[in-house]
């Protein structure tokens, strides 16, 4: 059995039930076969792959808090510090009832390679809780965040581990988490990213993941002498990543026709223009309402409990969650003429959907490359905090743009096949792996 296959078998056996983690490891290791074969003796001796798939540390903790009725509630808290070979652990916090250890491990593993691709000195980590922010009052959110940080604060720090947002964690939550950290440690430091602009945050961080995904997709289109003008774009989700991906698509002349949330999707064939997008932003970020209300307001189709992939489009940007695009949906997309899929979300396409996209030779950009703009600007937020300076919007945006172009180049360098087709999965995985692997070997037995 090859070294890669041995490790895949071990990961499945040693991490029972963690299906998303198995999926992420298999995808990465399958791309690395060639590199691993070439260096097999050295890698085996150093147990490099065994170390790569084992988190450096998993922290699991109890989060007790009091709800508005005075009742004590208890949630599970997680922080997986996956790999610090190239910098302090860095990655978001997710608050969602589906969160479990396997999901946090898959996200932390992916983050390690994504962060390496950004070219910035940041390691991989992820955390979160099975706490459900939906329907909670601001006071309940604050109570939860304060309790969560009371424990998390022992394990993080600006030189150790720097969390940020992810699903269910945006500016409001980062504010409450930061306030509690400051109170416990009596230190005003860059221990979190995604902070408010008035207190150490970076301009463009809220926009960064969505903008970055579209910058990446634009580079992919350029390889076929194409661009976003007139392209019909289907987007899933309607949160942070989806909203700013839509904003950038509009800017580049594309037409966004869908949004979704966990209850269903809306289809607006006339296109979601700036005014309608502002409505979605207000609906989701201020009123915390459901996307169904868009269909009611603008009198368009609402597809209850459906994802948006049945709609005819040129470009698909999955921006909601993992495994939200399966093989059947992938086939529908390509048979409807979709030429590009770029992932704003982490691992939104199932393994067989990914194979279908690659076999169909469409432009397929996996999350760890396409959505790296968010963590990249988080890295730039850390730089600004260290310098005690704040860069202008234009400066951060132009740095984001060049980082995304650079990640695209890395994917082309490592992913171009003999017929000139760019396999972005292979390119991103090899491109992200090399620096991490070399750093681990240089640092000895860690």
Q: How far is CA 248 from CA 181, 212, 221, 234, 243, in A?
A: 34, 9, 15, 13, 9
The minimum distance between CB 207 and ligand 2IT, in angstroms, equals 13
Q: Which candidate in 90, 114, 126, 426 is catalytic?
A: 126
The minimum distance between CB 371 and ligand 2IT, in angstroms, equals 6
Q: Taking CB under 6 A as the rule, does residue 92 contact ligand 2IT?
A: yes
Measured in Å, how far apart are the chain's first and last C-alpha atoms?
26
User: In the range 94-153, which residues lie near ligand 2IT by CB under 6 A?
Assistant: 111, 114
Binding mask 366-395 for ligand 2IT (x = CB under 6 A): --------xx--x-----------------
Q: β-pairing, 123-129 with 72-83? A: antiparallel
Complete DSSP assignment for 273-300: -HHHHHHHHHHHHTS---THHHHHHHT-
274 in active site: no
Q: Taking CB under 6 A as the rule, does residue 79 contact ligand 2IT?
A: no
Q: β-pairing, 123-129 with 161-164? A: unpaired
The minimum distance between CB 91 and ligand NDP, in angstroms, equals 9
Q: Taking CB under 6 A as the rule, does residue 371 contact ligand NDP?
A: yes
The minimum distance between CB 17 and ligand 2IT, in angstroms, equals 23
Cα four-point dihedral sign 185, 187, 193, 196: positive
Helix (H), strand (E) counts: the chain: 18, 12
If DSSP codes are grouped into helix, strand and coil, which group holds residue 106? Answer: helix
Provide the angle, in degrees to the nearest 10, between the axes of the packed helices 240-251 and 274-285: 170
Of 51-59, 87-95, 148-156, 170-178, the window that binds ligand 2IT (rule: CB under 6 A) is: 87-95
DSSP assignment letter at 81: E
Cα–Cα distance, 162 to 378 (Å, whole number): 9
**Rounded to 5 degrees, what are φ and ψ at 420?**
75, 0
If DSSP codes are grouped into helix, strand and coil, which group holds residue 137? Answer: coil
Q: How far is CA 380 from CA 23, 123, 261, 397, 436, in A?
A: 30, 14, 30, 11, 20
DSSP assignment letter at 349: B
User: In the range 186-245, which residues lie near ligand NDP by CB under 6 A?
Assistant: 209, 237-242
Q: Taking CB under 6 A as the rule, does residue 272 contact ligand NDP?
A: no
Q: Taking CB under 6 A as the rule, does residue 195 contact ligand 2IT?
A: no
The minimum distance between CB 242 and ligand 2IT, in angstroms, equals 14
Residue count, binding to ligand NDP (CB under 6 A): 26
| CA count, 13 A, side-chain hemisphere, 124 | 29
Closest CB to ligand 2IT among residues 210, 308: 210
Closest CB to ligand 2IT among residues 114, 290: 114
Q: Which residue is nearest to ligand 2IT (CB)?
A: 92
The minimum distance between CB 263 and ligand NDP, in angstroms, equals 6
**How far from chain centre, in Å, is Cα 349?**
13
Q: Given candidates 77, 88, 175, 344, which one binds ligand NDP under the rule CB under 6 A?
A: 344
Closest CB to ligand NDP among residues 97, 253: 97
Q: Taking CB under 6 A as the rule, does residue 396 contact ligand 2IT?
A: no
Q: Taking CB under 6 A as the rule, does residue 243 contact ligand 2IT?
A: no
**Facing residues of 127 across strands?**
79, 93
Query: Which of these, 421, 16, 23, 439, lies nearest to 223 by C-alpha position?
Result: 421
**How far from chain centre, in Å, is Cα 352?**
20
Residue count, binding to ligand 2IT (CB under 6 A): 12
Q: Taking CB under 6 A as the rule, does residue 247 contact ligand NDP?
A: no
Closest CB to ligand NDP among residues 35, 322: 322
Q: Taking CB under 6 A as the rule, does residue 370 contact ligand NDP?
A: no
Q: Taking CB under 6 A as the rule, does residue 166 contact ligand 2IT?
A: yes
Of 88-96, 284-292, 333-341, 428-436, the window that binds ligand 2IT (rule: CB under 6 A) is: 88-96
Closest CB to ligand 2IT among residues 8, 164: 164
Cα–Cα distance, 108 to 114 (Å, whole number): 10
Q: Which does 193 bind (CB under 5 to 8 A by kind): ligand 2IT, ligand NDP, none?
A: ligand 2IT
Catalytic site residues? Answer: 126
- Could you list the residues that contact ligand 2IT (CB under 6 A)? 90-92, 111, 114, 164, 166, 193, 346, 374-375, 378
């Amino acid at each position: 059995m090859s070294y890669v296959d041995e490790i895949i078998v071990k990961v499945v056996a040693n991490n029972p039930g963690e299906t998303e983690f198995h999926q992420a490891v298999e995808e990465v290791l399958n791309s690395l076969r060639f590199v691993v074969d070439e260096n097999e003796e050295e890698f085996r001796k150093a147990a490099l792959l065994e170390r790569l798939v084992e988190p450096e540390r998993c922290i699991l903790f109890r989060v007790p808090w009091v709800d508005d009725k005075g009742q004590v509630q208890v949630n599970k808290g997680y922080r997986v510090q996956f790999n610090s070979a190239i910098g302090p652990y860095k990655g978001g916090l997710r608050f969602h009832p589906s969160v479990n250890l396997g999901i946090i491990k898959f996200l932390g593993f992916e983050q390690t390679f994504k962060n390496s691709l950004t070219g910035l000195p940041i390691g991989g980590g992820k955390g979160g809780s099975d706490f459900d922010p939906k329907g909670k009052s601001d006071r309940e959110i604050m109570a939860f965040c304060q309790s969560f940080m009371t424990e998390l604060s022992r394990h993080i720090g600006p030189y150790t581990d720097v969390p940020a947002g992810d699903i269910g964690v945006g500016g409001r939550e980062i504010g409450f988490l930061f306030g509690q950290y400051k109170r416990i440690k009596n230190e005003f430091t860059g221990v979190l990213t995604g902070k408010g602009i008035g207190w150490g945050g970076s301009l463009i961080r809220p926009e960064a993941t969505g903008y970055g995904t579209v910058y990446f997709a634009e580079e992919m289109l350029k390889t076929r002498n194409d661009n976003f003008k007139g392209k019909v774009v289907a987007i899933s989700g309607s949160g942070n990543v989806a909203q700013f991906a839509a904003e950038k698509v509009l800017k580049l002349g594309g037409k966004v026709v869908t949004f979704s949330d966990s209850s269903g999707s809306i289809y607006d064939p006339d296109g979601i223009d700036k005014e309608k997008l502002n409505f979605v932003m207000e609906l989701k970020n201020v009123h915390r309402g459901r996307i169904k209300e868009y269909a009611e307001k603008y009198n368009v189709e609402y597809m209850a409990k459906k994802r948006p992939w049945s709609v005819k489009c040129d470009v698909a940007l999955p921006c909601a969650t993992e495994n939200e695009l399966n093989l059947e949906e992938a086939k529908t997309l390509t048979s409807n003429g979709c030429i590009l899929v770029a992932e704003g979300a982490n691992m939104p396409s199932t393994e067989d959907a990914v194979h279908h996209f690659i076999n169909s030779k469409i432009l397929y950009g996996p999350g760890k490359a396409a959505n790296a703009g968010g963590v990249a600007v988080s890295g730039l937020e850390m730089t600004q905090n260290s310098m005690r300076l704040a860069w202008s919007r234009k400066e951060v945006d132009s740095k984001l743009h060049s980082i995304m172009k650079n990640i695209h180049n890395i994917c082309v360098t490592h992913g171009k096949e003999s017929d000139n087709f760019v396999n972005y999965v292979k390119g991103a995985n090899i491109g992200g792996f090399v620096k991490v692997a070399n750093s681990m070997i240089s640092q000895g037995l860690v």
